[in-house]
């Protein structure tokens, strides 16, 4: 897997995941929507740590700075 996420993208995903988790555990979002937010938060955290987003790959997207 070639990295396709830059540091800004990783930070934004990590912050979004933290917000989703907080919304769930403060009972602001409950039920199926809360569970979906938790799953999305898990995906965001995982992709942040590995610096690879599988949805970027088919479209050839990358937020990594070019290293020429």
Q: d(Cα 41, Cα 49) in Å, to the nearest integer? A: 12
Its pTM surpasses 0.95: no
Q: Note the pLDDT of residue 2.
A: 86
Domain boundaries, the chain: 7-52
The two three-digit tokens of residue 17, written as one number = 């995941």
Cβ contact 48:10 at 8 Å? yes
Contacts of 13 (CB under 8 A, 6+ apart): 5, 44, 45, 47, 48
- The residue whose two tokens read 């987003």 is 53
* Displacement of CA 30 from its chain's centroid (Å): 20
Q: Note the pLDDT of residue 68.
A: 45
**Which tens digit of pLDDT belongs to each residue from 8-67?**
999 999 999 999 999 999 999 999 999 999 999 999 999 999 999 999 989 989 998 875
């Amino acid at each position: 897997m070639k990295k396709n996420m830059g540091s800004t993208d990783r930070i934004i995903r990590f912050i979004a995941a933290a917000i989703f988790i907080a919304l769930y555990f403060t009972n602001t979002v409950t039920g199926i929507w809360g569970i979906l937010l938790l799953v999305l938060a898990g995906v965001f955290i995982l992709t942040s740590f590995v610096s690879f987003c599988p949805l970027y790959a088919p479209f050839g997207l990358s937020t990594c700075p070019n290293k020429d």
